[in-house]
Structure 1
Amino acid sequence: MPERKAKAKKPRLIQGNEACTYGALYAGCSFYAGYPITPSSEIMELMSRELPKTEGVFIQMEDEIASISAVIGAAWAGKKAMTATSGPGFSLMQEGIGYAAITETPCVIVNSQRWGPSTGQPTKTAQGDVMQAIWGTHGDHPVIVLTASHVRDVFEMTVTAFNFSEQYRVPVILLLDEVLSHMRENVCLPEPGERNLIERQRPARADGFKPFKDLTFLPFGAGARFNVTGMAHDEDGFPAQAAEADRQLRRIMNKIHQNVEKVALYEELHLDDARVLIVTYGITSRAAENAVEELRAEGVPVGLVNLKTLWPFPDFLFERLGQNVSHLLVPELNLGQLVREVKRAVQGRWLTVEHLGRVDGSLITPQQIVEAIHQLTGTKIPKEGVQQC
């Protein structure tokens, strides 16, 4: 008999928030707690319809403080759990994120960024929460921060967020933005089993389990008794000071930073002959990609790095740059946040780092990036200046 050809997948026209929800469900998310806020509300709305179909749990909480607390509790009950919010709600979650970090609680927090601070402009886009995502809660703390550029990317990075949270027992923050959340694109969603899913490591036995010794995890009710506290603690979870507190904090930080090359995800474009490099992320990378192609058509040797992981920051990537790269441009929808990490990574080298920021609630355009590169290279007189940071 003739072989049957695999049936071609039919693309679906979905928005970014829908892709995020489908990615979470694909990854095995079975608990969602949240409070509606523009521009992330569609995630919550779709979760409220889809989770009951798989015997999952959906709860609308009274606020974002309660939401992150419920997510942490569900994670310790053995569930893959997430919440979604935007800037004002993300601010309210910071204490809970710190608690999740010190208790090594696997969970996913999606922040669809909008113009801020405060109430700001709820329906305008921005990338102003980068520093808050990395350092928003007090004290040294482990966290992974991811981002996405396309609707399909949102699905994939949501799955990745769950995988990283399960693998490293850490809260993972996925940064979207208003435009990407509401943009609609054709996406072919993978079938079950097509993507690798990481589950929590279980100890060989419950007897003698130490919840804060390594990456193994036992939920409450699985046969072990232990303490979970936000205070500095030892391997058993009981309060500790001085040397033991120091050792535990270094351990939870090192589990991320010692694996930075495994966690750092990025895309490269035209780096072989690049003399000018655009370092971009999130929604802004779309304009940057178009600008690169236009500039190269003009003969300008420009390349691009699109960061998918914002934290831990991939210093190693910039250490590998050849000496032919003389300038870096970092376009972002803020007044200079990720550019600070880029400058730190190249400190003491021959590179000049420039920043192109926009904070009026609109996207950076390809033409603005083209003009900025013209100014850097001296190839043309730009219409608009480049903001130095």
Structure 2
Amino acid sequence: MVIKPGKYFESGAWAAAMGALVAGANFFAYYPIEPATDIAEEMVKLGPRNGMVIFEAEDEISALGAAIGASWAGAKAFTSTSGPGFSLMQEHISYAAMTETPVVLINGMREGPSTGQATKAAQQDVMQAKWGGHGDYEVIVYAPYNVQEMFDFTIKAFNQAERWRVPAMVMADKMTVLLMEEITIPREVEIVNRKRPKVPPEQFEPFRPEEDLVPPMPVFGEGYRVHVTGVTHNEKGLPVSDDPWVHHELVKRLCDKIRKNRDQIVEYELVGSNVPEVLIVAYGFPARAAKEAVNILLDRGIPAALFRPKTLWPFPDKELKSVASKARKVIVVEWNYGQMLNEVLKVVPEEKVSFVYRIGEIPIPPQDILREGGVYI
């Protein structure tokens, strides 16, 4: 363990940096951008003393590209960014998905479109995290709502990236990155490392999947011959541009290794009544106010609950559908103009749903959630 177990009073940025170190990360590439620069500053302070390589790139494209290369060299690699930087990384996210490269991205979401208000919080990259790159692929995305989860979810992101060989993300908003709170560093933490080849180099096919649809991953320099390309490739890694069925089977497997195992990945929290009349759905920093709104209703004898997705992708749609079927009203709360809302409406009848939102860093008090959601007390 790189830090003594116990209680600390630190920021979300510190918690993410410490989570990366505890997870075994040893390569961090970044380009300065607020509010993710706070994470980079913590890594620069904590990383080198724990054997981590720090690389300040010329832009966000290069930062993620360097992390992808480091991963193939055997490192647990990651980057951090915000808003426009996340946009620039989309092609490399798609490339990492196609090449099955374990890599982690931590995003301190801010206002947009474009530059927006660079120092203000928002939740405007939620859909981009899933759909930002071209082509069919799957990612794993966590949404922390306190400092503890910045630590916990960063470790989970590394574990999931290593387990399934996909890009994994921690989509925090600016407030959660900068927030100062108590955090507990546990004595024991589960750490997952990627599967390695079990056969000698002359027998190895680098993209031949095992039963879980995930192929073992070699390390450059250890004798295994690997061709890593974003071009459609066969199980030997060789480009195939003239057979559409090779592409069909490859992309289907890339998606199915997550879709068929979504029950092992999806996480959510239900706070309050198990049979709510009023269900509030929120994630990230706004979920804190949503939780207080639930407490207000419970204090007045109204069965209420907060459904908080911990994974935004895969989205806990089946679980939400089950809980929401019991409610007469579902209130969706977001710091955007409706991104997770679209996922809720896929499983909850529209007539039951109210949407409470702010487009940017405007607080949403619990009372406003209830009033604008149509609950009068």
Note whether the superposition's TM-score is higher than 0.5: yes
TM-score (norm 2): 0.93
Q: Aligned residue for 1:100?
A: 96
Closer, same or farther: CA 72–154 of 1 in aligned 2, 3 Å: same
Confirm or deny: 8 A CA contact 1:268 1:306 kept in the other structure: yes
Distance 2:14 2:325 in 1: 43
Give the letter aligned to residue 125 of structure 1. A
Distance 1:341 1:166 in 2: 27
Post-superposition offset of 1:44: 1.0
Confirm or deny: 8 A CA contact 1:147 1:175 kept in the other structure: yes
Q: Given the alignment, which residue of 200, 204, 217 partners 1:206? A: 200
Confirm or deny: 8 A CA contact 2:79 2:105 kept in the other structure: yes
Q: Aligned residue for 2:316?
A: 314
Distance 2:238 2:154 in 1: 33
* 2:189 pairs with 1:195: yes
Instruction: Specify every segment of 5 or more residues in structure 1 that has no aligned partner in the other structure, as ranges.
Output: 1-7, 381-389
Distance 1:211 1:312 in 2: 26
Q: Aligned residue for 1:352?
A: 352
Q: Given the alignment, which residue of 34, 45, 49 partners 1:49? A: 45
Post-superposition offset of 1:11: 2.2
Q: Aligned residue for 1:283?
A: 285
Give the SS at the match of 1:345: coil
Q: Aligned residue for 1:4?
A: none
Give the SS at the match of 1:188: strand
Q: Aligned residue for 1:293?
A: 295
Instruction: Specify every segment of 5 or more residues in structure 2 that has no aligned partner in the other structure, as ranges.
Output: none
Q: Aligned residue for 2:262?
A: 260
Post-superposition offset of 1:350: 8.5
Post-superposition offset of 1:351: 6.4
Give the SS at the match of 1:110: strand
Give the SS at the match of 2:255: helix
Q: Aligned residue for 2:361?
A: 361
Closer, same or farther: CA 23–9 of 1 in aligned 2, 3 Å: closer
Give the SS at the match of 1:166: helix
Q: Root-mean-square deviation (CA), in Å?
A: 1.6
CA offsets 1:247-275 (integer angstroms, 9 cap, x no match): 01000100111111111111111242301
Distance 2:55 2:368 in 1: 43
CA offsets 1:139-184 (integer angstroms, 9 cap, x no match): 1112111110010111000000000000000000110111111110
Identity %: 41
Give the letter aligned to residue 198 of structure 1. V
TM-score (norm 1): 0.91
Distance 1:225 1:360 in 2: 49
Distance 2:300 2:277 in 1: 14
Aligned length: 366
Please identify runs of 4+ aligned residues in structure 1 that moved more than 4 A. none
Closer, same or farther: CA 252–271 of 1 in aligned 2, 3 Å: farther
Confirm or deny: 8 A CA contact 2:324 2:330 kept in the other structure: no
CA offsets 1:72-130 (integer angstroms, 9 cap, x no match): 00000010000000001001101111100100100100110011111111111100110
Q: Aligned residue for 1:124?
A: 120
Q: Given the alignment, which residue of 60, 73, 78 partners 1:82? A: 78
Confirm or deny: 8 A CA contact 1:206 1:222 kept in the other structure: no
